[in-house]
Amino acid sequence: MSGNGGTGAAAGALRGVASHLSLRWVAAGIAVLTVAASGLFGGLRPTEKPTVPVIAVHTAFDGGPWTVTVNRALTLKTLEPLKKTEKAGDRWVAVRVRMEINANETWNRIDDVIRLPGVKGLRTVEPSEFYLVRDESLLVRELQPGIPEEVAFLWQQDGSVPRPEAMDVELWGMTHRKSSLTDMIEWLDSGPRALVLDVPVEDR
């Protein structure tokens, strides 16, 4: 009996306290609990960046929807008459690859294939132009499955930044999995999958 009475008294006291708490205090309590719980798993401490495998130049890498082989890196003073840099004095940085689409449809998102994380002065993170060697043209924005092509990915670089002598080329990939949003099997999780280190940069 005394045990039940004690529990009842405690519950009554809790109800009493709860009835006097404002919404602000409840929210603050939840926030404190959340921070305490997240602290158990490292809190806001930066997580380690996942490492990706390093591969050599001229080595084919299967990124999921595409297979890409980095063959050369170049800087070019000009691409004219095909294209001018948006700012006078800028140069072009190019990575020439052999690329084949493994996906079962025409692929028109080729700007998600390569990044140059260590190169300073690039005007854009993603390449701004694509050069199809077969056509000597910048017009193509898509590749057909099963037809390998030589392609150059091009970035504009601030001309006041020293020309890179070598650079790391980050190869991205995607995963073919069911989307939690659409329930369809799609190419998702675009991100870095491999790194080609110290690719010598030719000057043209």
Partner 1 sequence: MIEPRTHRAPRGRFVEGLASLGSLAGAGLLILVALAVGSLIPASDENIEHRQRPYAVQGGVGDARSTDKLDIRVAGVRGAGKIKDDDRTHDTGGVWIIVKVRVATRTEAGLIPYAAARDRHGRIYELSSRIEQSLNGRMLQPGIPLTGELVFEVPKDAATDLTVLFADNSLDRRMDRQVEIALPTVDKATVDRWLADAATTLIDTEVSTA
State the Cα–Cα distance between residues 7 and 38, nearest whole angstrom.
31
Binding to partner 1, residues 90-129 (CB under 8 A): 104-106, 108
Closer by beta carbon to partner 1, 76 or else 132 = 132
59 binds partner 1 (CB under 8 A): no
State the Cα–Cα distance between residues 63 and 175, nearest whole angstrom.
8
Smallest gap from residue 64 Cβ to partner 1 (A): 16
Closer by beta carbon to partner 1, 105 or else 189 = 105
**Among the listed residues 90, 156, 157, the one whose alpha carbon sits nearest the alpha carbon of residue 121:** 157
Size of the site for partner 1 (CB under 8 A): 22
Q: Which residue matches tokens 């057909």?
A: 144
Smallest gap from residue 183 Cβ to partner 1 (A): 5
State the Cα–Cα distance between residues 147 and 102, nearest whole angstrom.
9
Say if strands 91-101 and 54-55 run parallel, antiparallel, or are unpaired. Answer: unpaired
Say if strands 91-101 and 149-157 run parallel, antiparallel, or are unpaired. Answer: antiparallel
Binding to partner 1, residues 127-166 (CB under 8 A): 132, 134-135, 137, 139-142, 144-149
Which chain residues interact with partner 1 by CB under 8 A?
104-106, 108, 132, 134-135, 137, 139-142, 144-149, 178, 183-185
